[in-house]
Structure 1
């Protein structure tokens, strides 16, 4: 049953993905007396809310949950597709595309840009990869970044060796290491990909969704409430630049602090709709250019035992070729297909021997790559209609060419090619959109928020998500965005404690 909307709370969180969940968890731990309301535009798919769909038992139930995540134009199990040119506009279960406005004339655009609308957001559908940023990916003005990443690993329950002992893991890693490790610093050599997973006592793999981030601490917090199917239309800001709450439908909820964690499109959209229109809002849009390839491992024996583990058959594991400044790419190597399908030659490959390679590039950041919002047109949800302006620069094309060379090196080391050459995916396919409410060390017009994620010029308003990351990060960004959310949540918790103490000392009312 839908709960009645509250009149006032201490903190409103908009969006229930990994970063919104991180705010709720840290506040529940550090300021348990604070009242917190989390509003999500989409439905709750699971009990507990925010569970990863890979953990749902049964294909039909999983597909039903994915379809419910696909907004107002669901596509799972629909034929024909409701979208034009599906070869360019990738339609992945659990996500929905911009119906239009994704490519301006003469620009590359982001034809594959996708979102999820459900409790848990895209965190209910993600791959769980949690590498740490390195070198130029790191945020130089955050001296405590490593400690924040440690805390993010705790919330996401990251396992740094999730497939230790899998039959082909050592083969894949040693072959990649021979090709890539020479000259690399110890921490940036080929290694297992840290994954947000844990194993049950029976050995089955459980994928981290925002339900894990919320954890029992948040779910058992009597001062926390989750409101699904409750889209927020406005952030309420006073004339003197202080957040006052949010508008949910036609109801105003007063709040001392508001956190907008609604993804890289809808977070700047909500700020724009609320009159918070900083110069950098929506700008420095960063989608990681991506190239992919596949191989069949050569000269490996059939595995002695095959066991399903939460959607991946753990034969080759997931390998990681980290970013360096000399090789500014992030390589992810994981099993693609464990079924005995004759993809190469006439022989049936042993399960687990088909390995996919994905190389992500850091974008050449430019302010002109942006999401613009209309003052006159509305989208399907009644919000300012977004349009994408996005162009790959000469530097981006050079980076992609170099990444293709690197992925061919990796493929040559591993086995027999499947296909003739690496495929460059359509812009937007990475799902790793960043920068649209980027963080900065100073309010100089090139950022939307400061080092604690508080929006410049609006006291008490915070932003969260991959969109806060300001660097041309090439690795999977969720761990970093959760780390930034930890810092923001700690800041709010500290301010709540201080404000409440001051109010108590003067006999005031904290509301």
Structure 2
């Protein structure tokens, strides 16, 4: 842990999650002389920065890495801390190199119908999504060889496919995973997104380094002020461009702390109401596939394919998104894994598109600070009558899905506490015009502040039900193209020579 080694960079990225790492990778690939600083308030968990914790072979080391990611406050889901927000009681955050990219389930469905962003041309959005899939190594067929996968998908298809267009029918879930030669899987973290940038000296990755504010000069972002969390020392470093990618709650917090306070900042907060259910596959299906292993995980911790992960896509007529996954691929425990044969129980999770309103928001208190000394958060959040209707429709759909797949383990599905999805969006949303309802333009440039971009799920302006990571990376790819134009070539502007930090040789 340390302060940045230099005082001047071409690009400073605050937040090392998947979206922030996308900006680093795109600038690294296309601007070969750029000097880049990637900051995170959390610790580095692995030798290769940003590696997914599920890829840590030893279970004790894996648990230690998850604990180290929690930050101050009560623990939430492994790798997170609870925010303590009454209106969003399950809201939780990770603080580590790689962000939630070190803990996520890797689901990467493309948005469809109303989830897509109407003011970005469709061909452009699709190209950005394709690049995001490449960066994450998305594989739509990683679990095709799982012994129960075809059976589960066939049962879901019979229920949901009639009347759907071909591209929105039940399908294997596209996953950010790599299949090993032995058939097990390893998960993509931000180490995969960063690629060679993770080990190149011109990309400096600084952990336990808190960004206190973006420094402005005459309406232009010119750097950041940071604090070493180990000893409290502070320093300001200059930059030709700044990207804030600190998640959907801490990104608006940092902008607020920096005096950047457009009307939409923190508003349009969008969580996805999440409903869970579980079902056991029928005995005749299990006995048909005697080759299935009794192990949920390989000796080194990799997931062993069993029933895989299936996807029931969102449509405007079906305004929720379904994931049907083998139990150990689910982030939410749905049964006691010690009492069931691996692969025989599947978890069903349905995510609903939220009725987005400006009243759902995170506010910041200039008189009270959080554990890091930044303005304290207060969340205002509620389900509208439209949300309650959608939730009931989703409960009906997941109940039917559980019955179609096998034998439901519970009498009825459960609506998890608000915030459980961890898919928070919208708080620095993009828009086609600076009309007070958005924070940035369609290239993620903050309105009226030159040289400043925002990134992450918080940029997504639409009511999505699908997992948002792929979309946020696609928008980061789009934003990076405008950032590269801002930086220009080294010949045009001259890449700044790194300056030694104060107090160093």
**TM-score > 0.5, shorter chain as reference:** yes
Per-residue CA deviations over 1:37-93 (Å, capped at 9, x if unaligned) read 011101000010110000001111001000100102364xxxxxxxxxxxxxxx211
Q: CA deviation at 1:483?
A: 0.6
Structure 1 residue 117, shift from structure 2 partner = 0.3
Structure 2 counterpart of 1:27: 27
Partner-residue secondary structure (3-state), 1:243: strand
Structure 1 residues 494 and 424, CA gap change in structure 2 (3 angstroms): same
Alignment of 1:375-390 (within 5 A): 375-390=366-381
Q: Does 1:184 align with 2:164?
A: yes
Please report how far the alpha carbon of residue 509 of structure 1 lies from its aligned counterpart in structure 2 after TM superposition: 9.7
**What's the counterpart of residue 83 of structure 2?**
98
The aligned residue for residue 502 of structure 2 is none
**1:203 paired residue among 183, 199, 215:** 183
Partner of 1:42: 42
Aligned partner (choices 321, 335, 341) of residue 312 of structure 2 = 321
Which of 192, 203, 209 is the equivalent residue of 1:230?
209
| 2:220 is the counterpart of 1:242 | yes
Contact 2:433 2:441 in 1 (8 A): yes
Please state how far the C-alpha of 1:410 moved relative to its aligned partner.
0.6
- C-alpha separation between the residues in 1 aligned to 2:172 and 2:349? 15
Post-superposition offset of 1:379: 0.4
In structure 2, the residue matched to 1:254 is: 238
Q: Deviations over 1:450-484 (max 9, x none)?
A: 01101001001000000000000100000000111
Q: Secondary structure at the match of 2:347?
A: strand
Deviation at 1:510, TM superposition (A): 12
The answer for the alignment partner of 1:145 in structure 2 is: 125
Take 1:510 and 1:54, find their aligned partners in 2: how far apart are those partners?
36
Matches of 2:154 and 2:54, distance apart in 1 = 30
1:295 aligns with 2:292: no
Q: What's the secondary structure of 2:346's corresponding residue?
A: strand
**Residues 508 and 355 of structure 1: CA distance in aligned 2, closer, same or farther (over 3 Å):** closer
Give matches, 1:355-394, under 5 Å: 355-394=346-385
Contact between 2:325 and 2:348, CA under 8 Å: does it hold in 1?
yes
| 1:489 to partner: Cα distance | 1.3
Provide the secondary structure at the position in 1 that maps to 2:322: strand
d(CA) in 2 for partners of 1:206 and 1:509?
38
Instruction: Provide the rounded CA distance (Å) in 2 between the counterparts of 1:333 and 1:271.
Output: 38
Unaligned stretches of 5+ in structure 1?
76-90, 104-108
Displaced runs of 4 or more, over 4 A: 507-511
Hey, what's the Cα distance between the residues in 2 that align with 1:44 and 1:74?
A: 21
| Alpha carbons 2:183, 2:305 under 8 Å: kept | no
TM-score of the two chains, using structure 1 as the length reference: 0.90
The answer (yes or no) to whether the contact 1:12–1:36 under 8 Å persists in 2 is: yes
After superposition, the Cα gap between the structure-2 partners of 1:255 and 1:508, relative to the gap in structure 1 and judged at 3 Å, is closer
Q: Structure 1 residues 192, 120: CA separation in 2 closer, same or farther (over 3 Å shift)? A: same
Judged with a 3 Å threshold, the aligned counterparts in structure 2 of structure 1 residues 212 and 508 are, in CA distance, closer, same or farther, namely closer
Per the TM alignment, residue 304 of structure 1 is displaced from its structure 2 partner at its CA by 1.0
Distance 1:59 1:503, change over 3 A: closer
1-structure distance, mates of 2:3, 2:425: 33
Q: In the aligned structure 2, how far is the partner of 1:509 from the partner of 1:355? A: 55
Contact 1:449 1:456 in 2 (8 A): yes
Per-residue CA deviation, residues 386-422 of structure 1 (Å, 9 max, x unaligned), is 0000010000000000000100111111111111100
**TM-score, with length taken from structure 2:** 0.91
**How much does 1:199 deviate?**
2.1
**Distance in 1 (alpha carbons) for counterparts of 2:119 and 2:497:** 37
Query: Is contact 1:188-1:322 (8 Å) kept?
Result: yes
On the 8 A contact 2:10/2:496 being kept in 1, the answer is no
Aligned length in residues: 480
CA contact 2:9–2:496 (8 Å) conserved in 1:
no
Q: 1-side partners of 2:140 and 2:430: how far apart?
A: 28
The DSSP-based 3-state class of the residue aligned with 2:146 is: coil
